[in-house]
Amino acid sequence: TIFGNYLAGALRNPSAADGQFGRLIFGFAVTEALGIFSLLVALLLLFAV
């Protein structure tokens, strides 16, 4: 829903869309990193403990 919310906001206010694109990419990167980190912790708990 990250991209969907960006698209909804960009359609409502097209002049602000360019300023929010960097935040969109940053938010997506943080979300992906958190998912990978959570997977790593889960695998460590599963196999290392």
- DSSP assignment of the chain, as one string? -HHHHHHHHHHH-GGGHHHHHHHHHHHHHHHHHHHHHHHHHHHHHHHT-
- For residue 27, the enclosing domain spans 2-47
Q: 2 with 21: CB under 8 angstroms? A: no
Please tell me the pTM assigned to this model.
0.78
With a cut of 90, say whether residue 1 has pLDDT above it: no
Number of domains in the chain: 1
Confidence of residue 40 (pLDDT cuts 50, 70, 90): very high
Q: Could you tell me how many residues make up the chain?
A: 49
Rounded mean pLDDT of the chain?
A: 95
Question: Rounded CA gap, 1 and 38, in Å?
Answer: 19
With a cut of 90, say whether residue 49 has pLDDT above it: no
Confidence of residue 39 (pLDDT cuts 50, 70, 90): very high
